[in-house]
A and B are shown apart, each in its own frame.
Chain A
Amino acid sequence: MTRSSANRSLVRSHRDDVRLWRTVSPWGVGILVVLAVMAPFHTSDFQNTIAVYAGVAAIGGMGLNLLTGFTGQVSLGHAAFLAVGAYTGAYLGQELELPLLLWLPGAALAGALVGAVVGPFALRLRGNYLAIITIGLVFIAQHVFANWTSVSGGQNGRSVTAPVAVGPVDFASLEVLGRSFTRDQGFVFLVWGLVGLVALTMKNLTRSRTGLAMQAVRDRDRAAEAIGVRLARYKVLAFVLSSSLGAMAGALHGSYQRYIHPGEFSLTVSITYIAIIVIGGIGIVFGPILGALFVTLVPRLIEEISPSLPFVSTDTAGGGFMTVFSLNQAIFGLLIVLFLVLEPRGLAAMWLRLRLYFRAWPFSY
């Protein structure tokens, strides 16, 4: 897969050529920023909660996208990195009482280390074999954490009180201009701020030499090696970066939810992340953001409309032959199938095409 040609519009100067976002207009950015900042004021705690979980999924998804979408290493083991990050963050933030600026990078570092250990396996194994080894990784991680009771609380789970303050700014009880925010609102700012940072970093990374090397590994790895792209280096690097982002997502998840349980980091979670990048758009930086929003919002949407669907039972009296959850799962599976068949480059590609259509109008054929 090469970069979408929709990204490359006609450029007239070198400066335009190297800009990160070629199509940005300051007006547009300004309006978006305003809307983004204003949004949490007018949403309920419920919606904010969903936004936080979506943001966390976006960060994890961008990590996985780097590994699978850009470097072509199929990994079903993302849940393991989330677990590592969650428990490390919990330990550093609660037991060692470190501040946010230490426990979050600490968790990311732990994830990176685990990624560095797993990475070399990718050198030995390819494709299907690698995918299945990563499944094993999830189970092993679950086993380790379920048994490492001093850190994880075992099957009881553990509470997490990791502080989220950056200097004087405490996201859990934010006060700006005399107005106080709820914890959920604060977390929306924190998590989505991080999403922005990560996206920016990823955008730069994929355009850099490293990013190009990774894509070469994805497209034709043996040929890449032949022309001097060291596979060992880039495959392991991909795992390291991907797992550190996954760990970061896990740590944020733990700190927000204030409770983590080994059962939360299951194979289903790994599969959900793959779905996020597939639906969002593999190999496109902002794809996982769309994917995460989609995957987090669609179940809630389906719940909203299911009372009006006669074959769905929404309460204890039954009524339909399928439950909302069942419908959710089925739709989820169906969407994965549909996206793969009809729009393999996901929501991101749909968005890019839409944008191109409007930009090229009235010559949009």
Chain B
Amino acid sequence: MTDFLQLCFAGLALGARYALVALGFVVIYKATGVINFAQGAFVALGAYLAFNFRQTWGLPFAVSLVLAVLVGASIGAGTERLLLHRMVGRPLFALIMMTVGILFVLNEVITWIWGQRTLNLGDPWGQDKVTVGDVVLPVKDLWTLGLAAVVLAGFFAFFRWSDLGLAMRATALDQEAAMARGVDVKRVFTLSWAVSAGVAALAGVTLAAGPAALSPGIWLIALAAFPAMILGGLDSPGGAVIGGLLIGVVQTLTAGYQPQHLPWLGESFHVIMPYVVMIAILMVRPYGLYGTKEVVRL
């Protein structure tokens, strides 16, 4: 039983990271209809920026975190202004490819500045842990879950009660109508990229926390977050979180139990389990658990 709980907690922690990454995707998708394949690079960028502020410039960790989020957000906004702007109205797959191109470039720039070696982020959580019964809860995982919850609550409040949030929701529903009502759609687009990159930075920091955990390969988590995002529904922030947590738990439980009980599925089946789950759910609900069904004019 302890094992099961331990695995569940690890799954929740992993899932919270997926959720943060997926949230970033969803924000952009909700406002602009684009899936930002470069999200992984923003995650990595956020982590490296935090490293720079914390280790290279010696700032306190909390300050580094906030700065990383802010700087990341501005870079996200800048990318949108510079590049995505020109792609308004272009076919979907051109947009996808554009973000892929950005991914490639950003990943390389990161290694030009910070190199290939594994680095220490220098977070204050270290290896601290809290033990509840027989289950060990690492402090950094608790923080991750906490941050994810705060971010989600913040999103909810923002979308529900703020003008800008309302504007974003309106743009997501119908750009033309929103413009007709005076919403500055361009600003909404830029803002959504900024928010997304900021959330990505947060995700990056929680990922890179721990000893020697920061390396250029960190962007790969974005690939693992895809199933989470799809599962929850591409345009639902709540769905992203639920999807993320779900995928995280499913993945760790699979890693824990599949080798013994279902070895014929192959080694490391847990790596593709999220995709299998995703496909299964999509067959039943093609827009994910909480996604809105598309209504398209002929």
| Chain A contact residues, CB within 8 Å of chain B | 68, 72, 74, 121, 124-129, 131-133, 135-136, 139-140, 143-144, 146-147, 220, 222-223, 226, 267, 271, 274-275, 278, 321-322, 326-327, 329-330, 332-337, 340-341, 344
Contacts and interface: CB of A to CB of B under 8 A. Distances in A.
Contacts, number: 126
A223 B105 CA distance: 38
A330 B97 CA distance: 14
Given A74-B96, A133-B279, A143 B266 contact: yes
B230 A271 contact: no
B272 A139 contact: yes
B112 A326 contact: yes
B104 A329 contact: yes
B286 A125 contact: yes
Given A129-B234, A267-B223, A334 B101 contact: yes
**Most-contacted residue by chain B among A68, A133, A335, A337 (CB, 10 A):** A337
Nearest to B264: A147
Interface in B202-232: 223, 226-227, 229-230
A128 B102 CA distance: 18
Given A222-B296, A337-B83, A340-B94, A274 B100 contact: yes
B275 A136 contact: yes
A321 B298 contact: no
A336 B97 contact: yes
B88 to A, nearest CB: 12
A72 B92 CA distance: 10
Contact of B93 (A68, A121, A220): A68
Interface string B226-255: 110110001000000000000000000000
Interface in B95-125: 96-98, 100-105, 107-109, 111-112
A327 B286 CA distance: 40
Given A146-B267, A329-B107, 8 more contacts: A124-B283, A127-B92, A129-B282, A329-B108, A333-B101, A335-B101, A336-B101, A340-B98
B205 to A, nearest CB: 25
Interface residues of B, number: 47
A274 B97 contact: yes
Contacts of A341: 83, 86-87, 98
A143 B294 CA distance: 33
B231 to A, nearest CB: 10
B87 A143 contact: no
B92 A136 contact: no
B266 A330 contact: no
A121 B280 CA distance: 11
A332 to B, nearest CB: 6
Contacts of A223: 298
Given A74-B96, A132-B230, A336-B98, A143 B104 contact: no
A333 B104 contact: yes
A336 B100 CA distance: 8
Contacts of A321: 112
Contacts of A133: 230, 278-279, 282
B65 interface: no
Contacts of B97: 274-275, 278, 336, 340
Nearest to A155: B267
Nearest to A338: B101
Contacts of B287: 129
A68 to B, nearest CB: 6
**Most-contacted residue by chain A among B286, B287, B296 (CB, 10 A):** B286
Nearest to A334: B105
Contacts of B29: 128
Nearest to A124: B286
A74 B42 CA distance: 24
B104 A139 contact: no
B170 to A, nearest CB: 21
A147 B223 contact: no
15 contacts: A74-B92, A124-B286, A128-B35, A131-B35, A131-B93, A132-B227, A135-B275, A139-B271, A140-B272, A147-B266, A333-B100, A336-B97, A336-B100, A336-B101, A337-B101
